[in-house]
Structure 1
Amino acid sequence: MDTDVIVVGAGPTGLMLAGELRLAGARVIVLDQLSEPTRQSRGLGFTARAVETFDQRGLLADFEGLETSPVGHFGGILFDYTVLDDCHFGARGVPQSETEAVLGQWANGLGADIRRGWKVRGLVDDGAAVTVTTWSDGRETALRADYVVGCDGGQSAVRKLAGFEFPGTPATRAMYLADIVGCDIRPRPFGERLPGGMVMAMALGPTVDRVVVCELGAPVAERGIEVSFTELAASWERITGESIAHGRAEWASSFSDATRQVTEYRRGRVLLAGDAAHIHLPAGGQGLSTGVQDAANLGWKLGAVVRGVAEPDLLDTYHDERHPVGARLLDNTRVQGMLYITGAEADPVRELFTELIGYDEVKRHLAGTVSGLDITYPSAPGSHPLTGSRLPPRRLRTAMGTTTTELLHPARGLLLDLGTEDLLGKVAAPWRDRVRFVGAEWAERAGLDDVTALLVRPDGYIAWAAGADRDATTLTAALYRWFGTPTDPLAGPDIAVDPELAQ
């Protein structure tokens, strides 16, 4: 084997996955066909749940001047996200190039082997390993790994070579995107609909404006097409009556509202994450954010499998947990596209949405959907309502003082005991190479009043929780389910576990 895992694609999803794999103890090679990172930053921020994902690895401080916004939108209809506790729309004004730089430096510092200018041309999964054929510097090279993960975007070579099905709806609208210098453009940060189409504009700096143009009746292609600044400026003028032809574009691109998702996130030893698994209309930074969370969900599981401390069927939970999240993402972006870029025929729907968003319950639902804060995973074993949800950020009283978020930095499992007995630490002792035991008290416990213990996965989701009833049997089942067979089963108490609970 050349490595444990080959990750194809050095965008935010691929780099996040590389870092997670290294923290899990896996060797990883990242291949990207570009010889250097692109300067094009289609994304300009990320959602609240992505903020939490970066924070749990100690990365937020690396984003200079990061700001979150309490106000967001759904399909261009504004509302206040603070209707949810601890909620915000997400980070704003962060170019995707900065996100890639932060994640690239992090993954590289952890020992990921990032190779640029390597194009994937072939892929064979023989059941025992995967061989990837690449082209770099005028020569062909074959690399072999236990697993391959395609993080190579909407036109994923890995997805095509591995034969994943990619059903969905074709494009109905084409849009142009560019960063323009030398124009005085009136801001339209949430879009402006006019008889000829929809335009957006926002200042990225004192001299640079980001513009999006969607002209009704423009030619549609599912795949992004080459677009010149001349074409974009002409389309802008036809819609708005304003000329921006005297400016210039730092870069220009196009995209569409094509919406597709693979039927399975794993085929044998090949997996997909991010845009390689799902494409949709960009809306509120959800694409980048969902890809980063795909990586956080997959990384620790794949790392455990290649290290031999978990069975390969743990990888099936990646599809089970993330495919529904991707499907819901596609649904909400299709609705947002209808609100954003359709003509006057959708005005009654927009008026109804504007009316409904005045209700707090509707705000909570939409805020949770777009921010990602409503994501929960199937909860088993145990019956506590927190099981399957995300560990909220809270301050703790320990010998050194800390927060729940800081305890997740090493990307290990966490058994947080807020009681006074030491039984739970003994139960988890056989997994001490994978699960960190911490005894603490709440310094703040909003929403967690009855919680006396939590088992948390490396991705920050709660695998088991206890109130007054601290059931060691279901805790042991959860440890088996998520952290595999213990290295030294004799290190803890002898507790019988129902095999069905541990599956």
Structure 2
Amino acid sequence: MLDVLIAGAGPVGLWLAAEFRLHGVDVTVVERRTEPDGRSRAVGMQAGTLDTFATRGLAERFIERGTPVPTGHFGAATTRLEFSAVGAVHPFMLALGQSVTEQLLEEHAVAAGARVLRGEEVVSLTQGPDCVEVAIRAGGTHRTVRARWVVGCDGTRSAVRQAAGIDFPGQDTTLTGWLADVELDDPPAGPLSAVGPAGSFLAAPIGDGVHRLAGVSTATMHHGTDKPLTLTEVREQTRALLGRDLGIHNPRWLSRYGNATRQATSYRSGRVLVAGDAAHMFFPAGGQGMNVGIQDATNLGWKLAATLQDRAPAGLLDSYDAERRPAARAVIDNTRAQLALFAAASPEQIALREVLSAALAEPETNRRWAHRIAGFADPLPADPEAGAHPLNGTRLAGLALATTDAPTAHPLMHHGRPLLQDLGGTRTPCAAGGVEQRSATVNTPAAEPIWRDVTTVLIRPDARIAWASTDADPQRRAADCVPALRTVCR
């Protein structure tokens, strides 16, 4: 019997498999496609995802293959978002084709011991009290496997989600945009955007001499996603939106995409869970889709591993749904707002875009939205403890350590265990098993102000801060830390 069966070898399924292997969980991934998908598809790897990969020592593998982009966009607002203000270890978005991302993640997962079986797909499942029986089709044959847990990472049409009876309500496509991965004779010097009566347009390099062009055109935004996009139309729309066609040639991928928006009513049904596009879908604005899915997997991996190995505190696995559904809901809301800016056509809508562009020119507003788009502002349920530190529940970012072996906390998290990091010079007594404990001082000039009085911080395996203290007394810190420790380990 398998510990875990994952359906889907996209970025989310592969990353989740590697996270399970980090904890010694037996995992098999089945993938309907017989070969990796060569399309670039999701090309924006946000700073939050790079920081997550850094906690496992992998970020540089992706950075070596991609193109750093220091700014981002919010819809068709003319003010760019400055990722340098986010406080991330990697303060940029990385332009990298999804085919390369999947290649690197599959190499990582397989090297860790995961099995990836291609040409196999889940067709049905039956849950029992101790396991799930899964019917798998491979070519013209069927077989049944048993797994203690099943995770659907098999996309918006997820067979796992449907077989588990998890509803996926929302709206169908009402507007479409278009995208083209092409070579250009007259490429822009950097990321380029344009807005006007004809709609909105974005262009950015994605590596290997290829640019991603994307637009929402008022003349074509009611075309269905099934209407083929031609290179002639791409040239025409680019000229209409930008004023020139940039010498477009040699298309790698042409597609229309819609604003269909749905979210699973629950991310768990018994022994079946869903993550990534199987759990949520929305308009691809701001390069957030794959990144939200990677955070789903990072949140789920250590929690399900602890549950399997009987070391999870009560309610730990339930917190996956409680934490990740609100996170996706927040992204759904901001992508809907971005679409309103992309599709602005009336004088009122255009005025709204201009007002928001002016608001984003204010440094604090710009920083706040760069922080959110980069993936560092996923909401968690409010901490009920009175006087809780404002770091509690936030993503780890902006913590620079005054050490040469670990200039940030990320290299200290390669093992995937909770990290109790002392920053005040005195060690906090900790008797909890399975917790890594380290001591360092904060590199104050490089640290965010919120860190400057922190003496101890408990960091979850998914780089969420479970607890932070400014107390100078180590014995009081040890006592105060106990409730937080009970949320991450037994």
**Structure 1 unmatched ranges of 5 or more:** 485-503
Q: Cα distance 1:328–1:110, how it changes in 2: closer, same or farther (>3 A)?
A: same
Tell me, in whole angstroms, the C-alpha distance in 1 between the residues paired with 2:290 and 2:180: 18
**1:458-473 residue pairs with structure 2 within 5 A?**
458-468=461-471, 469=473, 470-473=476-479
Task: Give 1:474's aligned amino acid.
Answer: D
Match of 1:136 in 2: 138
Change beyond 3 A, Cα 1:380–1:435: farther
1:415 paired with 2:420, answer yes
State the shift of 1:479 in Å: 1.9
Contact 2:457 2:467 in 1 (8 A): yes
Match of 2:274 among 267, 272, 275: 272
Q: How far has the Cα of 1:385 moved from its partner?
A: 2.7
Structure 1 SS opposite 2:429:
helix
For the Cα contact (< 8 Å) 1:153–1:276, is it kept in 2?
yes
Q: Equivalent of 1:367, from 360, 367, 370? A: 370
Deviations 1:379-418 (A, max 9, x none): 3668233221233354446796553110011111112234
Residue of structure 2 equivalent to 1:307:
309
Bigger mean CA deviation after superposition, 394-403 or 114-123: 394-403
Offset from partner CA, 1:201-225 (integer Å, 9 cap, x none):
4444676443334443548588x53
CA distance in structure 2 between the aligned counterparts of 1:186 and 1:360, rounded to whole angstroms: 26
Partner SS, residue 22 of structure 1: helix
1:45 Cα deviation (Å)?
2.1
Structure 1 residue aligned with 2:439: 439
1:495 aligned residue? none
Match of 2:408 among 403, 407, 412: 403
State the Cα distance separating 1:249 from its structure 2 match.
2.9
**How has the CA–CA distance of structure 1 residues 218 and 160 changed in structure 2, closer, same or farther, with 3 Å as cutoff?**
farther
Letter in 2 for 1:163: G
Kept in 2, the 8 Å contact 1:30–1:113? The answer is: yes
Aligned to 1:479: 485
Q: TM-score, normalised by structure 2?
A: 0.87
Q: Relative to 1, partners in 2 of residues 1:422 and 1:348: Cα closer, same or farther, differing over 3 Å?
A: closer
Match of 2:129 among 112, 119, 127: 127
Aligned partners of 2:96 and 2:207 also within 8 Å: no
Deviates more, 1:288-297 or 1:116-125: 116-125
What corresponds to 1:385 in structure 2?
Answer: 390
Say which SS state the counterpart of residue 172 (structure 1) adopts: coil
DSSP-derived class of the 1:471 partner: helix
Partner of 1:350: 353
**Equivalent residues in 2 for 1:47-126, closer than 5 Å:** 47-63=46-62, 64=64, 66-77=66-77, 78-81=79-82, 84=85, 86-87=87-88, 90-126=92-128
CA-based RMSD: 3.0
Tell me: CA distance 1:61–1:245, structure 2 relative to 1, closer, same or farther (3 Å): closer
Match of 1:339 among 338, 341, 349: 341
Equivalent in the alignment of 1:33: 32
Partner of 2:181: 179
> Is the Cα–Cα contact under 8 Å of residues 176 and 232 in structure 1 kept in the other structure?
no
SS of corresponding position for 1:149: strand
Structure 2 counterpart of 1:496: none
Residues 461/205 of structure 1: CA separation in 2 closer, same or farther (3 Å cut): closer
1:424 corresponding residue in structure 2: 429
Match of 1:42 in 2: 41
Between stretches 10-19 and 414-423, larger displacement belongs to 414-423
Most deviating of 109-118 and 249-258: 249-258
* Separation (CA, whole Å) in 2 of partners of 1:219 and 1:396: 49
State the Cα distance separating 1:25 from its structure 2 match.
1.9
User: Residues of 1 paired with 2:236 and 2:374: CA distance?
Assistant: 32
Cα 1:322–1:206 change in 2 (3 A) is closer
Q: Which moved more, 1:393-402 or 1:354-363?
A: 393-402
Q: Secondary structure at the match of 2:316?
A: helix
Q: What letter matches 1:460 in structure 2?
A: A
Q: Is the 8 A contact 1:89 1:367 kept in 2?
A: no
State the distance in 2 between where 1:83 and 1:398 align: 22
Does structure 2 retain, via aligned residues, the 8 Å contact 1:187–1:202? Answer: no
Letter matched to residue 331 of structure 2: L
2:21 maps to what in 1?
22
- Quote the offset at 1:31 in angstroms: 1.2
Looking at structure 1, the residues matched to 246 and 73 of structure 2 have their Cα atoms a distance apart, in angstroms, of: 27
Separation in 2, partners of 1:244, 1:49: 32
What is the distance in 1 between the residues matched to 2:291 and 2:43?
Answer: 11
Match of residue 230 from structure 2: 229
The code of the aligned residue for 2:459 comes to: V
Is the 8 Å Cα contact of residues 16 and 292 (structure 1) preserved in structure 2?
yes
Equivalent pairs counted in the alignment come to 477
Give, as a single letter, the amino acid of the residue that structure 1 aligns with 2:140. G
Contact 2:29 / 2:116 at 8 angstroms: preserved in 1? yes
Question: Which of 393-402 and 297-306 deviates more?
Answer: 393-402
Contact residue 176 and residue 227 of structure 1 kept, 8 A: no
Which segment is superposed worse, 394-403 or 255-264?
A: 394-403
Instruction: Work out the CA distance in 2 between the residues paired with 1:360 and 1:238.
Output: 33
2:66–2:206 contact (8 Å) kept in structure 1 = no
TM-score, length of structure 1 as denominator length: 0.85
Contact conserved, 1:83 with 1:360, CA < 8 A, in 2? no
1:191 to 1:156, Cα distance in 2 relative to 1, 3 A: farther
Q: Could you say which residue in structure 2 is the equivalent of 1:289?
A: 291
Higher mean displacement: 377-386 or 311-320: 377-386
Inter-CA distance 423–110: structure 2 relative to 1 (3 Å threshold): same
Structure 1 residues 89, 352: closer, same or farther in 2, change over 3 A? farther
Give the drift of 1:188: 9.5
CA offset digits 1:111-141 (Å, max 9, x no partner): 1111111122112222322222111132112
